Amino acid sequence: MNSAIMQAKYPIVGTKCFIKVVIGRPEIDPKSKHGDRRCKCTVSAHSNRKNFYIYGVDEIQCVWIALKQIKVVVSELEKKMKIKGEYYYW
């Protein structure tokens, strides 16, 4: 992954493990004809990891959409694994 611009770890309730979230630095999407951007995101807990790209017309839109999508991916991971992370202001 290109260098991360944001990353965080959230404790999993009742364990000493964490849910880890990483947003990579926005880069030019190699498939874009207009110089749109993308950033690689990773959400992981225990041995489960989901990597995905988020796309936007510029760096700000790309990161803004990534933050919203990460919330969805974390919720799906929690449901699938029957875990709950500790978040403040979530």
39 CB-contact burial (10 Å; exposed 0-12 / middle 13-18 / buried 19+): buried
Report yes or no on 13 lying in a domain: yes
Report yes or no on 87 lying in a domain: no
Report yes or no on 90 lying in a domain: no
Q: How far apart are CA 88 and CA 49, in angstroms?
A: 22
Domain with 14, as residue range(s), is 4-81
How many structural domains comprise the chain? 1
Q: How far apart are CA 83 and CA 12, in angstroms?
A: 7
Report yes or no on 21 lying in a domain: yes
Task: Tell me the per-residue pLDDT of 6-18, one tens digit each, with 9 for 90 and over.
Answer: 999 999 999 999 9
Report yes or no on 18 lying in a domain: yes
Task: Tell me the per-residue pLDDT of 23-54, one tens digit each, with 9 for 90 and over.
Answer: 999 999 999 999 999 999 999 999 999 999 99
Q: How far apart are CA 30 and CA 68, in angstroms?
A: 23
Report yes or no on 88 lying in a domain: no
Report yes or no on 63 lying in a domain: yes
* Average pLDDT for the chain: 94
Report yes or no on 34 lying in a domain: yes
